[in-house]
Amino acid sequence: MSIRRHDRKPTKPIIKKSKSKKTVAQKPKTPSQNPIVVEKLRLPCIRREEFHDSFLSYDKITDFLIKVQKDHPRSVNVESIGDSKEGKPIWIVQITSINSTESPKQVTFIEAGLNGEDIFAVSNCLHIVDHLSRNDNSVRTMDYFICPCGNPDAYDKFIETKIKKETSGETEKAQKKGNRRGSNKNCSKTMVFNKVNSNKVKGKEDPNETDEAKKHNNKNVDGLHCNKQQVDNFGIDLTNNFPVILGLSDMAKIKSHIFLEKIQVWKEHYIKDAPETVALLRTINHYQFAIKLLISLHDGGETISYPFGFTLEKDQESRDLQEVAKKGKCAMPCRNFQFGSYYDIRGMTYGILMDFLKIDKASIKYLYAIQVHAKTKKGNEKQEMKTLRANGVQMMQCIKRMSCSVYKLYTNMTGNKEVELVRTRPGIVRKKSL
């Protein structure tokens, strides 16, 4: 019987152990005998942009948007929808898929920066533009139209005053250190200066104070005069600068003093025919049949709200709006976001964009206002700046989840009520839009 080679048992070589403990010096191996093995590792490299940890001026925002369009000419288009009061262009970024055949597809419209102080919302918009322009898979189902800063005049002035405040704070700290190291004469001068300021706080006037000094001291923290009419003409906040129609809801349920207070706030800040709001409404009206989801980004909290802001009444669409808002909240499990109607979360408000679009009978069903940032209790701005990039990534995931949910609802992938199956004849079924 023949034995195959693989059936034979392997024999171990016999090694004789030497009894002597003497070690013999071995000859060093040549490089050819001992080759060096190099392992290639792929490590994640985080690309840094300037807006990841700082706030950009409007000129730098314009440069960034032009750069994105040059890097992705087939999928990104940057256009001006109008000019601000000071003549600055208001940009809108249109992001679509490279392989897109329809023009445009269903659209998610995002706007931010109507309030000049919403700097975190503007920064999150830049994160969204950067992400969508580099990821074609995110825009295959829906196009994105993004207006990163709707009020460039107020935004630029707020950034300038913020930078001046930071630089003046640093110089004051340096002066205090210098005064501590200086002579007693310098200390007496600073004490006199503080005494004058304390009198100013108490309401006492300095007889030696000049008119220019009085004008300078009458300015508030942001560098604006305390005169309310001048602040309104400046138009730093255009969030509630949209027309209001009364009598569409049951006014008997609203207390009179609350109604008068809120309507007065809207009346004092309303600027008729503001070029920023006119340009935004004209653009939304032009694409209203393509826009399926509209989102306004603001600062001041962590909420996802939907209409209405002027009444507690709910309409038939509130349930669908609540479901999409819930999907957006689930995309940010590490943050304590709340969702509900604008009235329930932020109180009675007149003149917001989504209420005006609902009243104006626009064809856009899914309208939301998202507050992207809540200040910390201690107000540590340096700590908040460290989380700027992470918050932008989370907001991008939230908006993508909401866009995907709206797309499924409109294409009847979840069995919603947008499309009803009607049986006309036996065996024949056709779709009927509600």
Q: Does the pLDDT value for residue 249 go beyond 90?
A: no
Residue 242's pLDDT band (boundaries 50, 70, 90)? Answer: very high
Average pLDDT score over residue span 281-308: 93
pLDDT higher than threshold 80 for residue 340:
yes
pLDDT at 186 exceeding the cut of 90: no
Helices (H), 203-330: 211-217, 228-234, 256-269, 275-286, 318-330
Give the Cα separation of 54 and 237 in Å (integer).
22
Per-residue confidence band for 113, with pLDDT thresholds at 50, 70 and 90? very high
Identify the pLDDT of residue 125: 94
Half-sphere exposure (Cβ direction) of 357: Cα atoms closer than 13 Å: 29
Strands 107-112 and 291-298 come out as parallel
Q: Give the separation between CA 290 and CA 418, rounded to whole angstroms.
A: 16
Contact 374, 300 (CB under 8 A): yes
Residue 20 reports pLDDT greater than 70: no
Q: What does the buried/exposed string (b/e) look like for 416-433 if buried means 16 or more CB atoms within 10 Å of the residue's CB?
A: eeeeeeeeeeeeeeeeee
Contact status, residue 325 vs residue 401, Cβ threshold 8 Å = no
In this predicted structure, the answer to whether residue 245 has a pLDDT above a threshold of 50 is yes
First and final CA of the chain: distance in angstroms?
85
Determine how many CB atoms are found less than 10 A away from the CB of residue 184: 7
Q: Which amino acid is at 321?
A: L
Q: Among the residues of 84-182, which ranges form H helices?
A: 119-134, 152-181
- Angle (deg, nearest 10), helices 119-134 and 152-181: 120
The pLDDT assigned to 212 comes to 44
At residue 187, the pLDDT reads 40
Peptide bond into 308 cis (omega under 30): yes
- Tens of pLDDT, residue by residue over 188-216, are 333 333 333 434 433 444 444 455 444 44
CA distances from 340 to 83, 87, 178, 345 (A): 34, 38, 53, 6
pLDDT (tens digit per residue) in 130-143: 999 999 888 988 99
Q: Is 280 exposed, middle or buried (0-12, 13-18, 19+ CB in 10 A)?
A: buried
Q: State residue 164's pLDDT score.
A: 79
Task: Grade residue 49 by pLDDT with cuts at 50, 70 and 90.
Answer: confident
Q: Is the pLDDT of residue 40 over 70?
A: no
The whole-number pLDDT of residue 223 equals: 36
Residue 292's identity, in one-letter code, is K
Classify 213 in phi/psi space as left (phi over 0), alpha (psi -120 to 50) or beta: alpha
Share of the chain above pLDDT 70, in %: 66
Q: What average pLDDT does this structure show over 402-418?
A: 74
Helix, strand, coil abundance in the chain, percent, nearest 5: 45, 15, 40
The pLDDT mean for the chain works out to 76
Q: Which has more pLDDT, 318 or 38?
A: 318
Tell me, what's the pLDDT at 62?
Answer: 95
Asked if residue 111 lies in contact with residue 147, where contact means CB atoms within 8 angstroms, the answer is yes
Interatomic CA distance for residues 220 and 158, integer angstroms: 13
Q: What is the pLDDT of residue 11?
A: 55
Structure tokens at 151: 């009020």
**Per-residue pLDDT tens for 228-241?**
443 344 468 899 99
**Cβ(420)–Cβ(434) below 8 Å:** yes
Q: What is the mean pLDDT of residues 349-373?
A: 90
User: How far, in Å, CA of 202 to CA of 161, rounded?
Assistant: 26
CATH superfamily of 50-156+240-420: Zn peptidases (3.40.630.10)
Residues 132-142 as b or e (16 or more Cβ within 10 Å = b): bbeebebbebb
pLDDT average, residue stretch 312-316? 79
Average pLDDT over residues 262-277: 91
Residues listed for the chain: 434
> How many other CB atoms sit within 10 Å of the CB of residue 374?
16
